[in-house]
Amino acid sequence: MQSLRGQVAVVTGASRGIGKGVALGLGEAGATVYVTGRTVEPNSGPDGLPGSITETAAAVTALGGRGVPFYCDHRNDQETEVVFSRILGECSKIDVLVNAVWGGYERMVEGGAYTWNRPFWHQPYWRWDSMFAAGVRAHYVSSAIAARFMVARKTGLIVNISYWAGQKYMGNTAYGVAMAATDRLTAYTAHELRDFNVAVVALYPGLARTEAMLRFADKVDLSSSESPQFSGRAVVGMATDPKILDKTGRAFAVADLAREYGFADVDGKQPRPVQVADAWVIDPLATGR
């Protein structure tokens, strides 16, 4: 794996899930990783999920990087501005920004009923708002702040965590529209940043063994699954790619990048690339996949 020692990365929404995995991947490459999120104390996450920014930061340091936790509710623009100001006050630069924060997955079961896979006219309105406020808009704001400093230095990489649902209906309208918006955000910000040598890429994880997914381990075939850290290794590959501008504005599956850059998952396996036709639907209770 290429070294990112001396590089500064910010990973939003890194208490758990793909965000945590990305932070760990960057940490094992030696980067200084600022970990943001809302969960500070262990075992206090939404729906009782484990993970916290303090635990992620400690794991980053244990892997050889430098992990620094910062509380931030990215639905609040002022909090986001303050966090980035503190980071830049300490380091004076941001080399890599990974937008992994996301909302809308909370409370899939409401009143004893599983609501995620209902048609849009039976969906709770809060789910749409959360997908955009704690997802698309949060990515937009963080990107805008980081871009100001990347443009000034004429270097940088922004990665937006997305998924195939932006290209194919996958069980929830709000989710699909939000992912499509993330992919468009990637394409259009890349267009504006290209002349400043700043790349923007959307990253599609496969079926990842996140804390939330492992709750459904008895209902889902995990034989071709990925660790969340696999996504982090993909970000390292892009961050050390001298021709990364050739990829700017486009979306890439983690497993495809693994084959291109020559890295394996943490267990030494090479998960198969997932394409839009067979992309996993986030609906384990309904599909069994």
In the set 34, 105, 163, 175, the catalytic residue is: 175
Average the pLDDT over 182-205 and give the result.
98
- From residue 257, how far is each of 121, 145, 190, 217, 238 by CA, in Å? 38, 27, 19, 26, 8
Assess whether 175 carries a catalytic annotation. yes
Cα–Cα dist 26/118, whole Å: 37
Domain boundaries, the chain: 8-287
Cα–Cα dist 89/8, whole Å: 12
pTM of the model: 0.93
Residue 201 near residue 248 (C-beta atoms within 8 A): yes
Which of residues 109 and 262 earns the better pLDDT score?
262
Name beta bridge partners: 12.
99
Task: Assess whether pLDDT exceeds 50 at residue 78.
Answer: yes
Q: CB burial class (10 A; 0-12, 13-18, 19+) of residue 263?
A: middle
Is residue 186 helix, strand or coil? helix
Q: Which two tokens stand for residue 223?
A: 């034989």
Is residue 140 helix, strand or coil? helix
Query: Directed axis angle between helix 17-28 and helix 228-239, to 10°?
Result: 50
Which residues fall within 8 angstroms of residue 238, CB to CB, at 6 or more apart?
A: 157, 159, 199, 201, 244, 247, 257
Cα–Cα dist 103/134, whole Å: 5
Average the pLDDT over 16-32 and give the result.
97
Cα–Cα dist 275/186, whole Å: 19
Cα–Cα dist 92/90, whole Å: 6
Average the pLDDT over 70-79 and give the result.
96
252 phi/psi in degrees, rounded to 5: -135, 140
pLDDT confidence of residue 287: 32
Q: What is the mean pLDDT of the chain?
A: 91
265 phi/psi in degrees, rounded to 5: -75, 175
- CA triplet 170, 276, 138: central angle to 5 degrees? 65
- CA triplet 173, 177, 183: central angle to 5 degrees? 150
Tell me the percentage of the chain whose pLDDT exceeds 90: 76
Q: Which CATH number fits domain 8-287: 3.30.70.2190, 3.40.50.970, 3.40.50.720, 3.30.870.10?
A: 3.40.50.720
Look at residues 208, 229, 276 and name the one whose alpha carbon lies nearest to residue 98.
229
Q: pLDDT digits over 228-280, tens only? A: 999 999 999 999 999 999 999 999 999 999 999 999 999 999 988 876 656 65
What is the identity of the amino acid at 268?
G
Task: Assess whether pLDDT exceeds 70 at residue 289.
Answer: no
